[in-house]
Amino acid sequence: MAMRYLTSKLAHQIDEELMGAVGAFSLDQLMELAGLACAQTLATVYWKDKYPRVLVCCGPGNQGGDGLVAARHLGMFGYKPTIYMPKPGSKEIYQRLKAQCVNMKIETLEPSNDTQSLKSALASSDVILDAIFGFSFKPPVRAPFDAALSLIANSGLPIVSVDVPSGWNVDEGKVDALALDPDVLISLTAPKEGVRSFKGRHFLGGRFVPKTMEEKFQLNLPEYPGFSQIVELPRADDAQKL
């Protein structure tokens, strides 16, 4: 059976059950596993000897939290991450994740509506991890992210997006002119409806979905290889031929 793609409504429901009495996961656990999968995806495609400098772009929500976890793991992997968060999250978990990055001596750009620091960071980076907007995002893109996405999109750097490329509608795909067009996508839990037509390299991560939940929602997830936190999915063009 084909793998199930999730609507935004179903993705929310699964998240709630994962962190409820049924799934019994904490947000910290899920974010740690998701962020590790994101870091592993970037490291799989963009080796650190050629792409050592990673600009990790984080939004203020859980997606940004995944990005902070990924930044820490990338530092552990031997990369040189820099964190860009124009609007840092206010939740306590976000503050702890940020402190963990500080303890790893990972540089964070000072929050600012001025894009000069982002321009400088882009000029001295090799690859971008896009963890700005998650599946809760509703277009259009607003300040300060509109200017940031434009600069990121026009940087010429390869982009790895987390779960849903920033600026995309979760159910409808790329409908905003400012939306990013990444080279690599790492879907979490299960792919979302809006990325069915994604043409780049597509990975699935978040090796935490219980068998009971996979069966209940008929997710039909692929098997993860060995001890890896990620599995590569067929490209959109190849999948349509199957």
Q: For 92-137, what is each residue's pLDDT tens digit?
A: 999 999 999 999 999 999 887 788 999 999 999 999 999 999 877 7
Residue 161 annotated as binding site: no
d(CA 173, CA 4): 16
Residue 140 annotated as binding site: yes
Under CATH, which number does the domain 8-16+25-41+51-233 receive? 3.40.50.10260
Residue 81 annotated as binding site: no
Residue 65 annotated as binding site: yes
Residue 130 annotated as binding site: yes
Contact in structure between 146 and 174 (CB atoms under 8 Å):
no
pLDDT at 241: 45
pLDDT at 236: 73
d(CA 180, CA 12): 23
Residue 238 annotated as binding site: no
Residue 139 annotated as binding site: yes
Which neighbouring-strand residues pair with 184?
Answer: 160, 201
d(CA 112, CA 148): 11
Residue 106 in tokens: 């990972």
pLDDT at 238: 58
d(CA 145, CA 151): 10
Residue 64 annotated as binding site: yes
d(CA 105, CA 33): 22
pLDDT less than 50: residues of the chain? 241-242
User: Could you tell me the pTM of the whole model?
Assistant: 0.95
Residue 66 annotated as binding site: yes
Q: How many CB atoms lie within 10 A of CB 108?
A: 18
What is the torsional sign of CA 45, 180, 101, 207? negative
